Amino acid sequence: MDLLELRRQDYTLEEDQQLLLTAFGEFFREQCPTSLVRASEPLGFNQDLWNRLVEMGGTSMGLPESAGGDGAGMVELELVAEEFGRSIAPVPYIEHTVTSRALATAGTSSVLEGALDGSHILALASFPVRAGSPQLVPAGAIANSVLALVGDDLVLFTVDNPPAHVVNQGSTPLSWWDFDAITDQVVIASGSQAKAIYARAHDERMVLMAAALVGMTESALAILVEFSKTRETMGVPIATLQGVAFPMTDVAIGIAGARNIARKAAWYLDHAPDERPELAAIAMVYASQTATHGTQVSAHLQGGLGFTIEADASLYFLRSKGWGSLAGDPQAKLLAIGDHVLNTVK
């Protein structure tokens, strides 16, 4: 069998990838306890944690070496995103990463220096800009610049002060950006190149968000597992009951599948981006469904404790719904996947 074909079906991590996963896992566990997550609400941003992530190389690893980065691929970024989601860290890792990579692809260096050291936070507009139509921008409440598609041009919009934060269920730094009112605009690409860079950035955001949702769901399940081993009913741990054990197993199966499809989508983006263009959306939709179901099970099976806002399960439950929409409406993506499959059936 061709080695490239074999690799497409193999989700085993290489040694350096496993080391990367371990390093960032330890970083987020040590630097981002749930107490810090709560302290960062409702904005969903912690400057000190962001600075530490920059020092760790999290903001530069995905950029090519020619742009001052480490040249990491999508699989490596996906691994970091999983650990980021596992800790529901209040930093704009995904938005900043995909936008920085888009700027590097376009050959734009004017803001990349600030992006490398984290002093200039970047975000990606979720939809093409239409005159007279402001839009909610993920990480827009803390971003200095937003990359957006305007007609046939890819434009970088920059402001002195980010717009006001819009409170939301996922405690993310959302804000309304009125692109018509921003005078600092720089066209970085036009025509087919602009559309290709913008589409690629969206695919990368979907894959990284899928990975983050996988990590988030696994953390929620871990909380439930520990609870079920110590909570007793009729003299036995509730984990021994089928009504508890079976739903937990179902969530674990969903996590395994979501992780595999996210890593597969990341691999295809790096090695065969035109061969399976639907994989990024599939990864995001499935991970979003898995996260919504998994965090609900975690909260539900913890009974009177799980639904309270003081319980850590609630942190994951709320974010599973809020974060799942940041990379695009999952239902709209599901329809797009269906259209793609129908159009490619021979």
Domain ranges of the chain: 194-344
Contact 37, 315 (CB under 8 A): yes
Beta-strand pair 135-137/175-177: antiparallel
- 194-344: in CATH 1.20.140.10: yes
Q: Convert the chain into a string of H (helix), E (strand) and C (coil).
A: CCHHHHHHCCCCCCHHHHHHHHHHHHHHHHHCCHHHHHHCCCCCCCHHHHHHHHHHCCCCCCCCHHHCCCCCCHHHHHHHHHHHHHCCCCCCHHHHHHHHHHHHHCCCCCCHHHHHCCCCCEEECCCCCECCECEEECCCCCCCEEEEEECCEEEEEECCCCCCECCCCCCCCCEEECHHHCCCEEEEEEHHHHHHHHHHHHHHHHHHHHHHHHHHHHHHHHHHHHHHHHCEECCEEHHHCHHHHHHHHHHHHHHHHHHHHHHHHHHHHHHCCCCCCCHHHHHHHHHHHHHHHHHHHHHHHCHHHHCCCCCHHHHHHHHHHHHCCCCCCHHHHHHHHHHHHHHHCC
Least Cα distance to 217 among 173, 280, 262, 174 occurs for 262
pLDDT for residue 7: 52
- 74 phi and psi angles, rounded to 5 deg: -65, -35
CA dihedral 284, 287, 288, 294 (to 10 degrees): 180
Tokens of 328: 């695009």
What's residue 161's pLDDT?
A: 96
The whole-number pLDDT of residue 276 equals 87
The first and second tokens of residue 119, run together, are 């002093």
> Residue 1's pLDDT is what?
41
Q: In residues, how long is the chain? A: 346
pLDDT the model gives residue 6: 47
pLDDT along the chain (346 residues), means of 10: 52 88 96 97 97 95 92 96 98 97 88 90 96 95 97 97 96 97 95 96 97 98 92 81 92 96 94 90 95 95 82 93 82 80 75
Q: Rounded distance, CA 89 to CA 213, Å? A: 12
Distance CA 212, CA 196 (A): 24
Q: What angle do CA 344, 75, 121 make, to 5 degrees?
A: 105
Please, are residues 220 and 316 in contact by the beta-carbon 8 Å criterion? Answer: yes
- Give per-residue burial for 46-80: e unless 16+ CB within 10 Å, then b: beebbebbbebbbbbbbbeeebebeebebbbbbbb
Alpha-carbon torsion angle 280, 144, 51, 90, nearest 10: -50
The strand pairing partners of 146, in sequence order, are 123, 157
Integer CA distances (angstroms), 119 to 15, 114, 270, 345, in order: 32, 5, 28, 47
**Residue 97: closest CA among 116, 111, 110:** 116
